[in-house]
Amino acid sequence: MSVTNWAGNVVFGARALHRPTTVSEVQELVARGGPLRVLGSGHSFNRMADTGGDLLTVADLPRLAEISADRASVRIDGGVRYGELAVLLEKEGLALHNLASLPHISVAGAVATATHGSGVRNGNLATAVSRIEFVDGTGEQVTLSRGDAGFEGAVVHLGALGVVTSLTLDVRPAFEVRQYVYDQLRRTEIDAHLDEILAGGYSVSLFTDWTSDDVNHVWLKRLETMSGDWFGARPADGPRHPVPGMPATNSTEQGGVPGPWHLRLPHFRMEFTPSAGQELQSEWHVARENGLEALHAVAEIRDRVAPVLQVSEIRTVAADELWLSPNYRRDTLAVHFTWIADTDAVLPVVDLVEAALAPLDPRPHWGKIFTTDPLALRSRYERFADFQALVRRYDPAGTFRNSWQEAILG
């Protein structure tokens, strides 16, 4: 068997890939014992979904989109992707609060790693979860709802607790979004007005290739219209792609044209390859009040960063209560790097960025490439020991353990 992740930098070591079509089949597979690991849509860049045993995907479970009577939540299956779910919700006049840069990822896999979009008031995508249903390491079905003991630990689970077969997500009435792109935001403006800039829309992303102190583009996803220059940046004279040199046709519509939330909140269209395609990614989350310091720290080493970088994206995420969320009790500024697809060239620069940000206690994105010392990493999460206890409780025999998890969780 040769299955790789989306980026192709991880060839999974699994003996087989199982595709159960019912929850009972999932339970039977788990009851056989491990090592077993669940593969979502494979968009993570490290070995978190890898195993030397068997892989399992829940992509073939029957699609489920049960909307609650009060239209405040939807119960979905563990295999659906955001792009499919969004179309179902939009037909019902409903929406999610936010989306990541791409709609291609599975909801369960994204929630497992606290995947996020942007917006000073928007929590990461896992914060929409009000109930999680999973088959634990003993083959038992477990349901945890918001308010239950352990719920806040189980939502961002890194694949360590079991097979997520269903999630219930908060939804809201569908809304329209306008996407505006501005070119060339000067460093002096960022230094003077970072908070106002980041709060300038429902979701704001700054894109830079770090070849200069300035930001190449600002993407504003707004509920209101806007016009004219903005903090000295000029409105783009045509559609843009976040990655220099990539076709703008792959991007969601810009120019302030109003459109449904699911066709504006992601940067990339479902029907095209997202991002560059050939790439690696890393991202670190710091407290928002340290945001400017983080940007200055990266600017100091930009001559080392720029040669192995395609583009960097700066976003915000609101604080939450999920134990392993990088946004746990911390309003966040997230600095993301889309690297070139060359692990040997990129890893030394990942080390450099980690060192530059270390005084700010950065929490890396779980699904991307990081080299943080596991002890330092654990110390950045107050509830880490509680999460380890949750893993022992729901996976006592280590059915879902893999070497990535062993290194991180101990």
DSSP letter assigned to residue 313: E
Query: For residue 393, which of 142, 133, 29 has the smallest C-alpha distance?
Result: 142
Encoded tokens for 293? 């310091």
Nearer CB in complex with ligand FAD: 58/128: 58
CB of 383 to ligand FAD, least distance (A): 19
| 100 closest CA partner among 218, 250, 220, 203 | 203
Give the residue with the Cβ less far from ligand FAD, 18 or 37: 37
CB of 79 to ligand FAD, least distance (A): 7
The smaller minimum CB distance to ligand FAD, of residues 156 and 189, is found at: 156
Residue recorded with tokens 């940007």: 295
Closer residue to ligand FAD, CB minimum distance, 80 or 189: 80
The one-letter code for the residue type at 251 is S
Distance CA 381, CA 328 (A): 8
For the chain, state the CA radius of gyration.
20
Q: Which is nearer to ligand FAD, 113 or 316 (CB)?
A: 113
Please give the Cα distance from 115 to 123 (Å, whole number). 10
Shortest separation between residue 335's beta carbon and ligand FAD, angstroms? 12
CB of 78 to ligand FAD, least distance (A): 4
Which residues of the shown chain bind ligand FAD in the complex (CB under 6 A)? 6, 37-44, 48-49, 58, 78, 100-102, 105-106, 108-110, 112-113, 115-116, 158-159, 163-164, 274-275, 365, 367
Within 13 A of 147's CA, how many CA atoms are on the CB side? 0
Q: Is the dihedral of CA 240, 246, 252, 253 positive or negative?
A: positive
The nearest distance, CB 344 to ligand FAD, in angstroms, is: 20
Give me the residue whose beta carbon is nearest to ligand FAD: 109
The CA distance from 166 to 78, in Å, is: 5
Q: Give the residue with the Cβ less far from ligand FAD, 200 or 364.
A: 364
Using CA atoms, how far apart are residues 346 and 352, in angstroms rounded to an integer? 10
Provide, rounded to whole angstroms, the least separation between the CB of residue 212 and ligand FAD.
24
